[in-house]
Amino acid sequence: MVQILTTKYGEEGLSQMLKKAKEVGTTEKMAFDLQKAQLVRWLDGKQDPKLVFKLLGAAGTPHNSRERALFAKYLKDYNAKFVNTAT
C-alpha cells in the first residue's frame, strides 16, 4: 500500500500526510502502521539518511519530537544494516 500511495503522492507528500494523520485519533494507528512500512521501504532501498531526515520533517523540531525519534531509529537501523556506509 505504501508503494501505491508513494506513486500517487510522492515520498514527501506521503510523509506529510502521515504526519498529519498521526494527529487525528481515528487515523493515528493506520498512519503509524503506514509510516513503519514506509521506513522499512526506505531502509530496503538504502535511502540516504539525510533525505529521510528531511522527509520526516525532523528539521526544526525539538530533539525529543516523534520525528527525531523516528529518524534516530532509522539511522540506527541503517548503520546496522549498511556497516560500511555508516554515517
**How does pLDDT run across 32-60, given as a tens digit for each residue?**
999 999 999 999 999 999 999 999 988 88
Looking at residue 15, its pLDDT comes to 92
Exposure string of 47-83, with b = 16+ CB inside 10 Å and e = fewer, is: bebeebbebbbbeeeeeeebbbebbeebeeebeeeee
For the segment 8-23, the average pLDDT, to the nearest whole number, is 93
What pTM was computed for the model?
0.83
- Pick the range with the lowest mean pLDDT from 42-51, 57-66, 70-79: 57-66
What is the tally of structural domains in the chain? 1
| pLDDT, greater one: 87 or 73 | 73
Q: Residue 66 — very low, low, confident or very high, per pLDDT cuts 50/70/90?
A: confident
Question: Residue 43 belongs to what domain range?
Answer: 2-85
